Amino acid sequence: MTERLRWGILATGWISHLFTSDLKANGFDVRAVGSRSQAGADAFATEFDIPNSHASYEALVADPEVDAIYIGTPHPMHAANARLALEAGKHVLVEKPFTLNAAEAREIAELAASKGLLLLEAMWTRYLPHMVRIREIIASGALGEVRSLIADHTQKLSDDPAHRINALELGGGALLDLGIYPVSFAWDLFGEPTTIQSTATFKSTGADAQIAVVFGYDDGRVATTVSASDLKGPNVASVLGTEARIDIDAVWYTPTSFRVVGHDGTVIETYESEVVGRGMHFQAAAVERLVAAGTLAGDLLTIDETVAIMATLDAIREQIGLRYPGE
């Protein structure tokens, strides 16, 4: 039986609200929250009925009633926050993108291994039931030989230069915030690409506004992704095989529906998601299962794969000429 962990929430922003809401709605033990102020921590604790609230991240990770820390800060803080929690002996779930770059990812991965602690990227899409079913269908051979993936993640977000999505100093831009989803999906289905072709447009702040990436593989497979922060598209995805395809409805990386469609248009299978909340709790369940089993490298998304995905994002950024302050 999976051992229930006591969770601590590091940071009280929008993504932490979503994650904590799903945990509370699905019976997880959220024991503490840490913010940069006592007032912020108290407000979050009151909203979610969390017993312990802390005025600093240091106090949160030192809480003896906490076993695992969820990190919901902006990307540039992920590595430092993860290091803080790991040094305190806590298992860590880091919001995606895992870090700013692969060098940071390797550093905290090595620290977690040295401490014997689980470190996992919060790429929650991997754990959603419809994605589990998609992997089963592909493995069954129902699509024939899978040859291509097409996915977009395009949102019309704020144009305010001060907004986090447009601020390079906060890791803003379409690639890390939005592109991480289809890039990780391509890694999930096809593994490491052998070729990468990227192009991008930029905002006045220097943040990437639109980015298109094509991955090639030695066996001829192709993955095509488009991400944007300044315009909204269909946000759908398709997995194409020699015998059939899977069409995933909007929004494809959240709990949604899909169809398996034959080349003659026949619908072979229809799937409808039935999930309580947004579905972010499935990754927390994976953390608890892995810790209970002593499998500290991960399974659906290993720490080695997370580091490699960050290296892929680094390669894309090199192609489009995107660097973050301090790199």
Which positions are catalytic? 96
Name the residue type at position 31.
Answer: R
SS3 string, 112-138, reads: HHHHCCCEEEECHHHHCHHHHHHHHHH
Backbone dihedral angles phi then psi of residue 93, each to the nearest 5 degrees: -115, 115
Q: Which of these, 137, 126, 130, lies nearest to 262 by C-alpha position? A: 137
How deeply is 305 buried, as exposed, middle or buried, from its count of CB atoms within 10 A (0-12, 13-18, 19+)?
Answer: buried
Q: Which of these, 66, 47, 86, lies nearest to 8 by C-alpha position? A: 66
3-state SS, residue 319: helix
The torsion of the CA quartet 22, 25, 26, 28, rounded to 10 degrees, works out to 80
What does the block give as tokens for 130? 């419809």
Backbone dihedral angles phi then psi of residue 58, each to the nearest 5 degrees: -60, -40
Omega before 251 cis (within 30°)?
A: yes
Q: What is the DSSP letter of 178?
A: I
